[in-house]
Chains A and B, each alone.
Chain A
Amino acid sequence: MSTAATTRPGDEVVIHRVVEKPMSTRRRVGIGVAISVLGLLSLLLGHNAQAHDARFDLSQGSEFFHVPDLVLPVAATAYVIGIILLAVGAYQAVRGFRPRGLRIAGTGIGALFMLAFLSWAASGGKGSTIDLLGVLENTLALAAPLILGALAGVLCERSGVINVAIEGQMLAGAWAGAMFGTLMGRFGGVLTALVAGALMGWLLAVFAIRYLVNQVVLGVVLNALSLGLTGFIYDAIMQPNANTMNTPQVFQPLQIPVLSKLPLVGPLIFDQNIIVYLMYALVILIQWGLFHSRWGLRTRAVGEHPKAADTVGINVLRVRYVNVILGGAIAGLGGAFMTLGSVGSFTKGITSGNGFIALAALIFGRWSPKGAVAASLLFGFAYELQTLLSLVAPPVAIPSYFLAMLPYLATIFAVAGLVGKVRAPGADGEPYVKE
């Protein structure tokens, strides 16, 4: 487009020269050292291996063709990986990756180290087979509530309301799913879980948006409320009448024709229960809608600069209400997944911190649905690793309390170390007041 014949000063677009701000030397070397330590650890694992081979099972049996087991020579694998990591660590310490490169390298480093670690773990005694496909399936199952919780966070925080109450919303959903799922059938359970979550979301919305209560404090209070209320109902009604009140039918996996027969991805992705399929749909819908729909544009505008949205005639408070209530419902679905999708009954505090880890996944995933999915999968894997290691008997026994720490350790490292500086939506947590 060129209406103005001459270029005018204002036509030049970029104000400042953009350079890569050099990472501070301390940080650069620190990260390099951390990678090298992982490398040394790999070498150590290789040295410590007992059985010669580690065997990974990658098929379920129902696929179109059988995927052969992956058999790795443990020591060699760990040594090679150790050397690669040492080299990468040295490069990082001396030259340093650019931020984007570091993120990619970080993912690769994590995956390689895990491979070395699992090979070692499977090499105890005469060696055991790790059902890798099963591990991944479990990872997804553990990540599903996290993903739903984080999606709830995306909706709320993208519209400018901090949601620390994900845990409470999930708990309400888990409870409603179990109790009403028993009374009204499992679909009724899902529906009531959505409503229960939405009600919790509505409480958050009213106090945060209308009464301008500090949103973090409010979230903590709502979590306590949810824990107390569901705990009380459990003690008073559900536990004494467990058979009639707390035995919902669990959703069984539904195989998608053809797709579920694909090797690897088939059993992993297309042989899941209905709540997981719903979750896929929500992830795709929210990821796409946030950037390509009117709803998404307005939601982001309200979360970034509510006054700007107001001056073009958008009802800021309504957009926030809608998103916070929808978010609550999605967190409720996450709770229902726990009772109706896996466990099959409600117990007090069944969400056990999942809502908070979902919050971490939201931040680690930089407030984007796809980022939140990746982060949730990472955290889900950390949980699964804990179970796995107690099953395979690695060459050196790892104390169980250390294993129990894994998911939280992963969370802390991820949020504190890898994320670096992230930018929350501009008006996240700021109530909007007219005049």
Chain B
Amino acid sequence: MKLELRGITKRFGSFTANDAIDLVVEPGEIHALLGENGAGKSTLMNVLYGLYHPDGGEILIDDKVVSFAGPADAMAAGIGMVHQHFMLVPVFTVAENVELGHEQTKGFGILDAAKARREVTEVSARYGLSVPPDALIQDLPVGVQQRVEIVKALIRNAKVLILDEPTAVLTPQETDELMEVMRTLKASGTSIVFITHKLREVRAVADRITVIRRGKVVGEASPNSSSAELASLMVGRPVQLTIEKAAHEPGDVIAEVDNVRIVDDAGQVVVDDVSFDVHAGEIYALAGVQGNGQTELTEAIIGLRPLDGGRITLSGRDITDSDVHDILRADLGYVPEDRLHDGLIGSFTVAENLVLDRYDSAEFSKGPSLDVGRIAANARQRVEEFDVRTQSVDAPGSTLSGGNQQKLVLARELSRPLKLLIVAQPTRGVDVGSTEFIHRRIVAERDGGAAVVLVSTELDEVLGLADRIGVMYRGKIIGEVPAGTSAETIGLLMAGTVPDDLPARLRDPGATATGSRTTVRTEEPL
């Protein structure tokens, strides 16, 4: 099946997310759509999938114009999509999710569970996508959830499969497996639109590459192009792909996390006796796939989450039971991973967001009232210093782009001297320009003598910034490795495998500290 997009234009209000985009996907090819965050890739694919109605342009299948009123039409035409944020019902089983919308019935709308299960098993066997049909989605790791999404599309006979940033949530090994699946699908005649902003992957698997910038197609590239070429095409200027930083000189231990254990409301041990320490002038990275306890651990450190065991000290002071206010006063800075939800208040102005943690200090208040003048002056200075692109300091925080919101949060947290800085996913959804800036500021903070804990699921970011790396897997730090460790080794750790060549002292510092190992319950593989 040949798919063609001609002059697709999509506007959100006055903002043009897709501007007359042309794209041809030939039968049986892997076509990469490369572009920065916010370039308009997802929007384009949502148009193709019938979720958005284009303001202009047309879609052609095998040279015939088609129009989609909704996803049902797109699926009927042979288009399948794996969304960037999975479209799976967490409390449903795999089979139920796959069936939803095209249910196998015994007639009269009565579900035929056995037939559904058989169908799932068949398709997953045919393409080597093993999924457990009866497991609940919420119990599955994202890699498996992604396979469920693919099975879901294939069961509906997708001839063109759209994968929107499929590797963002995967370990390097899982990414390799996904690429293998993509090749299998291609061999069986399915075309794939592969959306990503990661250059290595594009070059490894794509037959053809279309680059999108600010809603426009800016060129085609061959998979043989160098990373630097692709990057500059994507960003529109030459970019520096590596992070510059001097050798680090660690000082005293600043923060100590000792046998911390967190159990969530469902009774899952999300952080399992984790211990590590961070020195002054050091960036300690907590690497790992999303959902392995990093979020909970950082929330616990800044006092947002009670511990079920263990101790946290900051400069020798026990802060385990202190509240957030006291912990911030102890010179801890925190850049949360969900900046719109936890990092700032969308309806507050830029200026207000910059003093959220200090509005009550003498600096910004006059008796019981706020010192609006000082707050505004502070905002102008910070906005300048951190290159926050905003119309004014009185614009609501929600009107800023992702990268600028992140710089806003960083500007607030770095505006006081810190002993410990915790940054979680600092560059997720952030454009390349802002990413460079944010990385430089983090390194500068380290060089200024602060201890930094970096939580990141991006391996490149971890490798570029960290002086020491703890890899989290299922709530444990299963390995701690120095900077310069190969991506391969860290990838294995992220997938839960401790490589044999790893020196014993580097393995599982949590377990050695307690002298015990807890067993992890794993369900039988299929």
Contacts and interface: CB of A to CB of B under 8 A. Distances in A.
A301 B92 contact: yes
Contact of B263 (A21, A292, A309, A312): A21
A17 B128 contact: no
Given A4-B128, A308-B100, A14 B139 contact: yes
Nearest to A99: B267
A298 B263 contact: no
Given A17-B520, A297-B96, A307 B87 contact: yes
Contacts of A15: 139-141, 268, 291-292, 474
Contacts of B266: 18, 21
Interface residues on A, range: 35 or more
A21 B267 contact: yes
A310 B71 contact: yes
B298 interface: no
Contacts of B267: 18-21
A17 B518 contact: yes
Interface stretch (A5-13, A164-172, A234-242): A5-13
Contact of B265 (A17, A21, A298): A21
Contacts of B71: 310-313
Contacts of B514: none
A304 B141 contact: no
A305 B71 CA distance: 16
Nearest to B138: A15
A3 interface: yes
Contact of A312 (B101, B113, B125, B174): B101
A301 B110 contact: no
A314 interface: yes
B15 to A, nearest CB: 13
Interface residues of B, number: 71
B51 A311 contact: yes
A269 B419 CA distance: 71
A298 B89 CA distance: 11
A10 B144 contact: yes
Contacts of A2: 130, 526
A311 B125 contact: no
B177 interface: yes
A232 interface: no
Contacts of A26: none
A216 to B, nearest CB: 22
Contact of A426 (B91, B96, B111, B113): B91
B58 to A, nearest CB: 19
A293 interface: yes
A311 B521 contact: no
B100 A8 contact: no
Contact of A313 (B72, B113, B140, B171): B72
A297 B83 CA distance: 21
Contact of B100 (A12, A13, A297): A297
A1 B121 CA distance: 7
Interface in B231-273: 263-270, 272
A1 B92 contact: no
B87 A16 contact: no
A139 B173 CA distance: 61
Contact of B111 (A14, A292, A308, A313): A292
A295 interface: yes
B130 A3 contact: yes
A13 B518 CA distance: 17
In this complex, which of B49, B144, B147, B264 has the most chain A Cβ atoms within 10 angstroms of its Cβ? B144
B143 interface: yes
B475 A11 contact: no
Interface in A290-327: 292-298, 300-301, 304-305, 307-315
A277 to B, nearest CB: 22
A12 B474 CA distance: 12
B495 A308 contact: no
Interface string B103-115: 1010001110100
A295 B109 CA distance: 7
B99 interface: yes
B45 to A, nearest CB: 12
B497 interface: yes
A238 B409 CA distance: 65
B523 interface: yes
Contacts of B217: none
B132 interface: yes
B199 interface: no
B490 interface: no
Contacts of A434: 51
B90 interface: yes
B51 A10 contact: no
A13 B132 contact: yes
A313 B101 CA distance: 6
Nearest to B264: A21
Contacts of B97: 308
B157 to A, nearest CB: 14
B124 A10 contact: no
Contact of A293 (B102, B111, B265): B111
Contacts of A300: 89, 91-92
B38 interface: no
A274 to B, nearest CB: 25
Contacts of B522: 12-14
Contact of B75 (A13, A16, A298, A313): A313
B81 interface: yes
A13 B140 contact: yes
A16 B264 CA distance: 10
B476 to A, nearest CB: 10
A428 to B, nearest CB: 13
A296 B96 CA distance: 11
Given A17-B269, A311-B71, A435-B52, A12 B523 contact: yes
B177 A312 contact: no
Contacts of A311: 49, 51, 71, 81, 83, 87
A382 to B, nearest CB: 30
Given A14-B523, A421-B265, A297 B51 contact: no
Contacts of B453: none
Given A16-B268, A304-B91, A7 B81 contact: no
Contacts of A305: 87-90
B525 interface: yes
12 contacts: A2-B526, A9-B497, A14-B521, A16-B270, A19-B263, A19-B267, A21-B265, A301-B92, A308-B88, A309-B100, A310-B51, A434-B51
Closest 10 CB pairs of A and B: A313-B72, A312-B101, A10-B143, A9-B495, A11-B525, A16-B268, A308-B87, A13-B523, A294-B109, A21-B267
Given A9-B143, A294-B111, A311-B83, 18 more contacts: A8-B177, A10-B144, A12-B496, A14-B521, A17-B268, A17-B474, A17-B518, A17-B521, A18-B268, A21-B263, A297-B100, A298-B100, A305-B90, A310-B71, A312-B100, A312-B101, A314-B101, A426-B91
Interface of A: 1-4, 7-21, 292-298, 300-301, 304-305, 307-315, 421, 426, 434-435
Interface of B: 49, 51-52, 70-73, 75, 81, 83, 87-92, 96-97, 99-103, 105, 109-111, 113, 121, 124-125, 128, 130, 132, 135, 139-141, 143-144, 147, 152, 171, 173-174, 177, 263-270, 272, 291-292, 308, 474-475, 495-497, 518-523, 525-526
